[in-house]
Amino acid sequence: MESTIAEIEVQRYEAYMNSGVSWVKEIPAHWELKKGKWLFQKQDRPVRASDDIVTCFRDGQVTLRINRKTEGFTNALKEHGYQGIRKGDLVIHAMDAFAGAIGVSDSDGKATPVYAACVPRISGSVNPYFFAYLLRNMAKTGFIESLAKGIRERSTDFRYSDFGELELTCPPLEEQTTIVDFLDRKTAQIDQAIAQKKRLIEQLQERRQILIQRGVTRGLNPDVPMKDSGMDWIGQIPAHWEVKKLKYVVKILKRIANATGIDVLSITQRGVKVKDINSGEGQIALDYSKYQLVFRGEFAMNHMDLLTGYVDISNFDGVVSPDYRVFTLTNSKFDKHYLLRLFQLCYKCRVFYAYGQGVSQLGRWRFPAENFNDFIIPQPPHGEQQEIADAIDKIELASDKSINQAELQIKKLREYKSILINAAVTGKIKVC
């Protein structure tokens, strides 16, 4: 933590004193500690006819709801107790303050009664943006949550009255503004760097997908002569490849266990995993004896929902839901790992989706056995299948490495950002 702070040119204030409050040990000697209520006053404004709803998000942005998103909200039948919000108000969201829902509004509008709209007690005497940074920092460090009186998870109820009793670090006004400007600048830089890393990850994932797709459907040699495949989802394939219906390649199995005590497997989007049925998590079946057997090396597929389902080769002996599809390779001219890549591609690129059936395309879109059996796949020579599968393994390994690295960098940037904000608003560092 200290070493991360050292990355910026650390400048300390000349003198410090004990703060006397629990959440910060010492503060610059010329700063003051003031209760929230001496600095800010709660406003109770009537709602105007033209007001739109202002929302305070957990990242601290306080803006018209429609600026961020328009869906996923319900509208009140009668906006009982609603209040006016004005641009520049320090807004505290009593329910979600513990998670950082505190900020300065960038718009005029109205909000629900769980919001507190605060203005400086003496106009122009404090910079609300400084205190928004400070309070969000107190949320991030868990201090606001520690004040909770209620029992349920979101009961923190950090209301104006609680805010009013807090002793807040209060630098001179010019310093508040200097700190705000500094943090605005720095956090914008950090956010930009994070956005860049996120784009990089997207690009890596996209590129990986393209390479996998190319390998599976066209092979590794780009110069090989091509022919029409007759499969609408591929188009052309190498001229020396063949095609086969799945029923000549794999066989669907259904072996009901009629016994319990066997490991229950779950088919997740990260592969087949052993499910912990004693943890109380997820859905639990009344009767596991009707589950079907899966042996190591066999395929298991969630064909119940072509949107959220997936397919994998099991690394475990166990049982899965009888609603799932277990099948095994029966054609010695095919390589298991090439097939798996092909199937997984068909999920990710919504190829199977086109062959689905059901009442709802959202959540209930199945892949009927008949369509599965008649599904036509490319058949490269066996040795080439192995080469393709090996090449894809390598691609995946390399891109995983880059993606993990970028994710780690994002994590570090986020940490750095909160450490920086913490240091600036509590006077651990002097900014200029």
* Residues lying near DNA in the complex (CB under 7 A): 53, 55-58, 65, 71-81, 93-96, 99, 101, 112-114, 149-152, 154-155, 157, 159, 161, 266-270, 275, 280-287, 302, 304-305, 307-308, 310, 321, 323-324, 357-359, 362-364, 366, 368-369
The span from the CA of 431 to the CA of 184, in Å, is: 12
What backbone torsions phi and psi does residue 98 show, to the nearest 5 degrees? -60, -25
Tokens in use for 134? 């400070």
User: Shortest Cβ distance from residue 3 to DNA (Å)?
Assistant: 29
- Which one, 93 or 341, has the nearer CB to DNA? 93
Can you give the three-state secondary structure of 210-234, one letter per residue? Answer: HHHHHHHHHCCCCCCCEEECCCCCC
* Cβ within 8 Å of residue 267, ≥6 positions away: 300, 301, 302, 309, 310, 311, 312, 320, 324
Query: Which helix (DSSP H) or strand (DSSP E) does residue 104 occupy?
Result: strand 102-104
User: Shortest Cβ distance from residue 382 to DNA (Å)?
Assistant: 30
CB 91 within 8 A of CB 116: yes
The span from the CA of 233 to the CA of 400, in Å, is: 27
User: Shortest Cβ distance from residue 124 to DNA (Å)?
Assistant: 27
Tokens in use for 414? 């986020």
User: Shortest Cβ distance from residue 207 to DNA (Å)?
Assistant: 21
User: Shortest Cβ distance from residue 357 to DNA (Å)?
Assistant: 6
The pairs formed by 16-20 with CB atoms below 8 angstroms and a separation of 24 or more are 16/427, 19/167, 19/169, 20/167
- Which one, 338 or 365, has the nearer CB to DNA? 365
The span from the CA of 60 to the CA of 398, in Å, is: 37
User: Shortest Cβ distance from residue 288 to DNA (Å)?
Assistant: 8
- Which one, 66 or 239, has the nearer CB to DNA? 66
User: Shortest Cβ distance from residue 17 to DNA (Å)?
Assistant: 34
User: Shortest Cβ distance from residue 200 to DNA (Å)?
Assistant: 21
End-to-end CA separation in angstroms for the chain: 21
User: Shortest Cβ distance from residue 328 to DNA (Å)?
Assistant: 16
- Which one, 61 or 402, has the nearer CB to DNA? 61
- Which one, 62 or 425, has the nearer CB to DNA? 62
User: Shortest Cβ distance from residue 249 to DNA (Å)?
Assistant: 18
Nearest to 370 by CA among 325, 320, 335, 311: 325
CA 207 to chain centre: 21
- Which one, 78 or 394, has the nearer CB to DNA? 78
User: Shortest Cβ distance from residue 176 to DNA (Å)?
Assistant: 26
- Which one, 150 or 222, has the nearer CB to DNA? 150
Q: Within a 10 A sphere around the Cβ of 342, how many other Cβ atoms?
A: 22
The CB-side HSE value for 135 (13 A sphere, CA atoms) comes to 32
- Which one, 11 or 279, has the nearer CB to DNA? 279
CB 31 within 8 A of CB 74: no
- Which one, 303 or 428, has the nearer CB to DNA? 303
* Cβ within 8 Å of residue 264, ≥6 positions away: 274, 275, 277, 288, 291, 318, 319, 320
The span from the CA of 107 to the CA of 63, in Å, is: 6
- Which one, 61 or 405, has the nearer CB to DNA? 61
What backbone torsions phi and psi does residue 195 show, to the nearest 5 degrees? -60, -40
- Which one, 270 or 394, has the nearer CB to DNA? 270
